[in-house]
Copies of this chain bind each other. A is one copy, B any other.
């Protein structure tokens, strides 16, 4: 059913006149159809951003010509353009620790066909989630990691990521810090899930803090990881209601639910090429 002759075109540049006309004409001349367009301009910053879904009616791959043509335009017009044929499924590595809820959700959505990606690698600093990974037939590698052996561990991670030609890292409740050096190698290519509350609680035992403060909503934020901890561009946010009757364990249960849904949604958007970072903001194309 999936039509593999589709591709997504992402375009970003300072706004000016005639961009849509120029690009739509090129697409038409090359014999492709436009199936979907979501384009807008940020009125505050003058940023142009566009996502087009294209289709080759003959199913004949003219991918390389097409890519070259867009590279030329991008250079001439000083745009950022990328073309993503749907058959080039992104390759994900999932990092996890002991908690299964986010990993489980991603793996079953992948198994059900919701996530059009490859998952060739799961990495954990613990052994706990090996059997879950194996049930879904994804290779699991245990890479011990803590403050004392960060450098060595990250060298191992880099080797594994390169061997498996990974495009995107998903931190599915990975409870180790990644060094600024590592993060800078993967710009806009690491997605994390953060248990952020209203108001936010930093530090240990966030659910206990939330209970003490009597919050009425439990939230989660999926974001790109930048060197500045927990402050990267926000991809997706959601909340669940809670009340004074919720004990710490109830808040933790609701937290797991909102975390898994928020993270899986952000990952799906990334795979479907719906995300674009502009400044500190993430554009989520519809």
Q: Residues on A close to B: CB < 8 A?
A: 1, 15, 17-21, 24-25, 27-28, 33-44, 50, 57, 100-101, 104, 108, 111-112, 114, 131, 135, 196, 198-200, 211-217, 219, 221, 233-239, 243-245, 247-249, 253, 256-257, 261, 279-284, 286
Identical copies in the complex: 4
User: Please, which residues of chain B bring their CB within 8 A of the CB of A245?
Assistant: 36, 40, 286
Evaluate contact between B28 and A21: CB separation under 8 angstroms. Answer: yes
From B38, B234, B286, give the contact of A213 (CB < 8 A): B234
Given that A199-B200, A234-B214, A281-B212 are contacting pairs, would A28 and B18 also be in contact in the complex, using a CB cutoff of 8 Å?
A: yes
Given that A21-B25, A36-B41 are contacting pairs, would A198 and B221 also be in contact in the complex, using a CB cutoff of 8 Å?
A: yes
Consensus secondary structure, chain A interface: mixed
Residue of B whose beta carbon sits closest to that of A244: B283
Evaluate contact between A248 and B44: CB separation under 8 angstroms. Answer: yes
Evaluate contact between B36 and A28: CB separation under 8 angstroms. Answer: no
User: Please, which residues of chain B bring their CB within 8 A of the CB of A135?
Assistant: 131, 135
